[in-house]
Amino acid sequence: MATIEAGRYSAAIWSAAIREAAQVFSAYLTPLGYSLGSHAVRGVQDGETDLSTEVAARLDLGRANRVGELLRRLDAELTVVYRHELVYSQAFVRGKPHIPRYLQMLARGDRRGVPVIIAQRQPTTPENLFVSETVRLSRLVCNAWMSRDSAERRLAIDLADRLARFESSSPWSALRAHPRPALTDLSAIVGGRLISGAVNETGAVAELHRLFSPREPENVIEFEEATEALTFVACNDSRFEDKVFELIVLAWLFQALQSRANAFQIDLRRLKGAGGEPVATATLDDASVEVFFQAAASVLPPGAWQYRHSGAALRAIPDIVIRVRRQGAQDRIVIVDAKNRTSASESEVIYKLLGYRENLRLTPYSAVGVYPSLEPHPRILRLSDGTSRVTLVHVPLRGGRQVATRLVRALSS
């Protein structure tokens, strides 16, 4: 995929996640046991983890990750200040002689040398101390994430190593232990130097200042800035972006079901497959609909194909399985596979969906492969052998809800 196209797509899929799948995405983001289902609002008890804490932790790591990206530019923007000191020079006089002091010394018989004034080059400027403090805080954020088994942990380990190498280089190693004001005070000083022009307002220090400046409670971070900080994992682990698209497709199905169902229930605590229960159930006229997310082992028949060495059946774990039940009729199963690819081989996906049919021996068989698209209109490809149907649909990231509604309408027919 071209770089420009990949950048457009990455921005579009994360915008869709926050715009259309915020509830599902947020519930998946938090640990098991926390859900965004219908609950009464209450205070968070000691020992509980709430969504705002989880999001804030990722925003902190997002800021730390941006610090890591700015290190080279920050090194190039190092500033210095010259401080005058009085020293005593022996043999060779280096600096400006302090004549009054020298005369006093001669009068007292002091033979320590010639007192001279020299200008010492020091890196202890407010902006350098501000950079040093943000790097230190970023390392603390990395340390907090390194105890978790997650994509964030892998990023935190790499980021902590880069930050440590930066801190150990000169002159930052000397600044690391140098006394300095609190971050809020340093931020205020640097802000004043930005206004006065002493610090380049388009440079890396200025960007760092925007990232770490304290915000008033009523101010809201701009959407683009928040999503950039929150979505850094997708840039380091593309598999997470695959998961995001699966959650978007799931959210589209929920919205379509809720708009047409006589009754609709959702339990987002089951998003991570605990218990193999449906994430959502709905009633469409005389049909009962259950939606399973990566946990349909109890719904799908055992695989007909078996491993010769163990006799175990080849398992099928589609992204989404929909089971439609009607009284007096055979259960109907629909497999939905989310494909986070904009230019994938359609025949490859078709054969994968037909592989599910071969292994599961479902009759009739229905499967849908869903691709994301940046185009304004969906593109649909249908295949059938008379009893089985396979559909591929390229869904606009801004129009997926309408496409999901068509699928739900077909379930109730």
- Whether the bond between 171 and the residue before it is cis, its omega within 30 degrees of 0, is yes
CA-CA-CA-CA dihedral for 356, 358, 359, 361, to nearest 10: 100
pLDDT given at position 119:
64
Task: Report pTM.
Answer: 0.57
**Residue 41 confidence class, pLDDT cut points 50, 70, 90:** very low
Q: Give the model confidence (pLDDT) of 74-104 as tens digits.
A: 999 988 776 666 777 777 767 677 778 878 8
Q: Give the model confidence (pLDDT) of 203-254 as tens digits.
A: 999 999 988 876 543 333 333 444 444 444 444 445 567 888 899 999 999 9
- Whether the bond between 364 and the residue before it is cis, its omega within 30 degrees of 0, is yes
Residue 155, CA distances (Å) to 143, 149, 266, 334, 395 in order: 11, 11, 33, 37, 31
Mean pLDDT score, 365-382: 91
Other CB atoms within 10 Å distance of the CB of residue 344 = 13
Q: Is the pLDDT of residue 312 over 60?
A: yes
Q: Six-digit token pair at 200? A: 């380049």
Mean pLDDT score, 149-169: 88
Instruction: Identify which of 397, 396, 338, 395 has the alpha carbon closest to the alpha carbon of residue 368.
Output: 338
For 407, the 3-state DSSP assignment is helix
Q: Give the model confidence (pLDDT) of 275-307 as tens digits.
A: 678 999 999 888 999 999 987 767 888 889 999
pLDDT given at position 274:
54
